[in-house]
Amino acid sequence: MEGFKALGLSYKNAPIDIREKVAFNESDSTDFILKLQELFEVEEALLVSTCNRTELYYSAPNDLSKEILGLISSFKHISSQELKGYFQFYSSKEASKHLFNVTLGLESQVLGDIQISNQVKRAYQQSADLNMAGPHLHRLMHTIFYANKRVVQETSLQDGTASVASVAVDLVRGFIGNIENPRIALIGLGEIGQNVLENLDSKEATITLVNRTKSIAEKLSEGKNILVKDLSNLESIITENDVVISAVATSAPLITADHLSEEILHKLFIDLSVPRSIAQEVERVPGVSVYNVDQLAERTLKARAIRTKAIPAVENIIEEELSNFMSWKNEMGVSPTIQKLKIALDQIRKEELSRHKKLSDKEIELLDVVTKSMIQKVIKLPVLQLKAACKRGESETLVEVLNDLFNLESTKIEKR
């Protein structure tokens, strides 16, 4: 489908203050996709919004880049002129390859980040639930997920501790090393928050979980030496803990300088949210250290060196699987021609059989079997040639020849 396109921005070309303005939570994503469906001739849509990027992939007969950028601007109440310089635009094969690179972690701020593939899977599930994933997107996503499986099995792209969650925990361990009976508060238990929790060890510190939906925190603490507290006690939670990790989806900062007392010896804040959930003013409070997602990425250089060596192998996998996908895509483009050829030949066969009315039922039955077998053998070579031409990118000429030879343009395919 030549109408598959994409547009988006990422940490590579947009600072965090721009990224957080166009970040979509799950509810926003649903509303936006439905609005997109309502306003434009969009057949498929996939909205990927993480702390590092906001990208929309879509299938439509026409290029709707300007219109969609305008819709994002209106939806997020931000000037399209302010956004225009940050958005990149992709079309056809370029968009498909970019989605491969994003999902497999080649475009991640933390190279090979395992979080992104799960985030893309959730976005794909959302598209499917909204009936905005058609044959093209279904096939593309399953090809990408298979490629990701190959990357895990065949390369070292995901080796070492280089995810945002693992880097955050490494930073915490370095901070609490000299603190007697350290206390850590983890606020927000979405996927990133839960990944942080998986990497934390309750033997190293007292851990307190805080979540808007308290039952989730209680479930995650079952059978473990972990405390659970209400978000309404935020000020006391911040006061009592040496480390506060915030992974909350919020449109405005959750933690501000007003939550901090004047007598702070040393406290570490880690903000894993986009938009940021810890106000910038907190950084200016004496005794406080604050790290956001951009700063955490700087601490992944060692793991990145290991993973960088795997890039050529990953790129080879992408090229192989992208080639397989493009072959399927091209074959889908000629499948109507193949179907019409089968119908045209079968019509000739039936017309010839109808001329022999003096034959017995058994003779007609036998001829029917024989002529069907002949048609299958006759059509086999053109079909194989068409598929081979698809792989070479030369199917268009052969399709034209078959159309002319059998007048296929006049052949109609009945819908079942």
- Buried b or exposed e, range 348-357, using 16+ CB within 10 angstroms: ebeeeeeeee
Q: Which of 144-148, 318-322, 328-332 is predicted least confidently?
A: 328-332
Beta pairing class for 4-10 and 53-59: antiparallel
Q: What is the mean pLDDT of residues 346-350?
A: 83
pTM of the model: 0.66
Beta pairing class for 243-246 and 288-291: unpaired
User: What is the number of alpha carbons within 13 Å of residue 3 lying toward its C-beta?
Assistant: 15
Instruction: Kindly state the helix (H) or strand (E) to which residue 182 belongs, with its residue range.
Output: none
Give the pLDDT score at 335: 67
45: β partners = 58
Give the pLDDT score at 416: 44
Q: Is the pLDDT of residue 6 over 90?
A: yes
User: What is the number of alpha carbons within 13 Å of residue 399 lying toward its C-beta?
Assistant: 20
Report pLDDT digits (tens) over 18-67.
998 999 988 999 999 999 999 998 999 999 998 889 999 999 989 999 99
Q: Is the pLDDT of residue 68 over 80?
A: yes
Question: Do 165 and 195 form a contact (C-beta atoms < 8 A)?
Answer: yes
Alpha carbons 244 and 168: distance in angstroms, whole number: 11
Mean pLDDT of the chain: 87
Question: Do 62 and 50 form a contact (C-beta atoms < 8 A)?
Answer: no
Q: Which of 119, 256, 260, 245 is nearest to 175 (CA)?
A: 245
Q: What is the mean pLDDT of residues 154-176?
A: 85
Report pLDDT digits (tens) over 191-230.
889 889 988 887 889 999 999 999 999 999 988 889 999 9
Question: Do 19 and 293 form a contact (C-beta atoms < 8 A)?
Answer: no
Our answer to whether residue 51 is catalytic in this structure is yes
Alpha carbons 259 and 281: distance in angstroms, whole number: 11
Give the pLDDT score at 300: 67
Cis peptide before 312 (omega within 30 of 0): no
Which residues touch 372 (CB under 8 Å, ≥6 apart)?
Answer: 349
Which one from 51, 168, 210, 243 is the annotated catalytic residue? 51
Give the pLDDT score at 2: 62
- The residue with greater pLDDT, 46 or 3, is 46
User: Taking CA 291 as the corner, what is the angle to CA 210 and CA 194, rounded to the nearest 5 degrees?
Assistant: 35
User: Taking CA 57 as the corner, what is the angle to CA 52 and CA 63, rounded to the nearest 5 degrees?
Assistant: 125
Give the pLDDT score at 1: 46
Query: For residue 327, what are its two tokens?
Result: 């072959």
C-alpha dist (Å) from residue 208 to 186, 233, 338: 6, 12, 63
The three-state secondary structure class of 254 is coil
Quickly state the pLDDT bin for 149 (edges 50, 70, 90): very high
User: What is the number of alpha carbons within 13 Å of residue 84 lying toward its C-beta?
Assistant: 7
Beta pairing class for 4-10 and 88-91: antiparallel
Q: One-letter amino acid identity for 103?
A: T
Question: Do 251 and 232 form a contact (C-beta atoms < 8 A)?
Answer: no
Torsion of CA 288, 292, 298, 301, to 10 degrees: 100
User: What is the number of alpha carbons within 13 Å of residue 192 lying toward its C-beta?
Assistant: 23
